[in-house]
């Protein structure tokens, strides 16, 4: 299986179950690993055969800016669904973390994997 990865993508979003969290943006760090839908780019060296990393990042930023989810779990699930549907990835690993959400904690979050590893 061939993958691309994005590490420590920082986005600002409104997320959380408490009322105050719905009114203030807070940072999330997102790490992704996406299985490539094709291995052609490895032999053709043609951008048309590759997954556009910049397009992936831009789409994640747009998603984070406007989503209806309160829980990190649901945010991660919806992001995994989006990546698989829009970029044709057969497998994804999504890690989403809140930054300094609780005194003494640097990050906390969830990690999910969806799809088939080949």
Q: Known catalytic residues?
A: 98
* Residue 87 in tokens: 């970029």
Angle (CA) 27-34-1 rounded to 5° is: 155
Nearest to 105 by CA among 93, 96, 97, 113: 97
């Amino acid at each position: 299986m061939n993958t691309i990865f994005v590490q420590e993508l920082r986005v600002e979003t409104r997320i959380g179950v408490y009322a105050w969290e719905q009114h203030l943006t807070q940072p999330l760090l997102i790490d992704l690993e996406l299985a490539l839908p094709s291995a052609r780019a490895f032999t053709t060296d043609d951008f048309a055969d590759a997954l556009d990393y910049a397009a992936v990042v831009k789409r994640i930023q747009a998603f984070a800016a406007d989503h209806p989810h309160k829980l990190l779990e649901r945010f991660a699930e919806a992001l995994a669904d989006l990546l698989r549907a829009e970029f044709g990835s057969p497998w994804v690993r999504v890690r989403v973390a809140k930054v300094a959400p609780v005194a003494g904690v640097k990050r906390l979050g969830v990690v999910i994997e969806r799809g088939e590893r080949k």
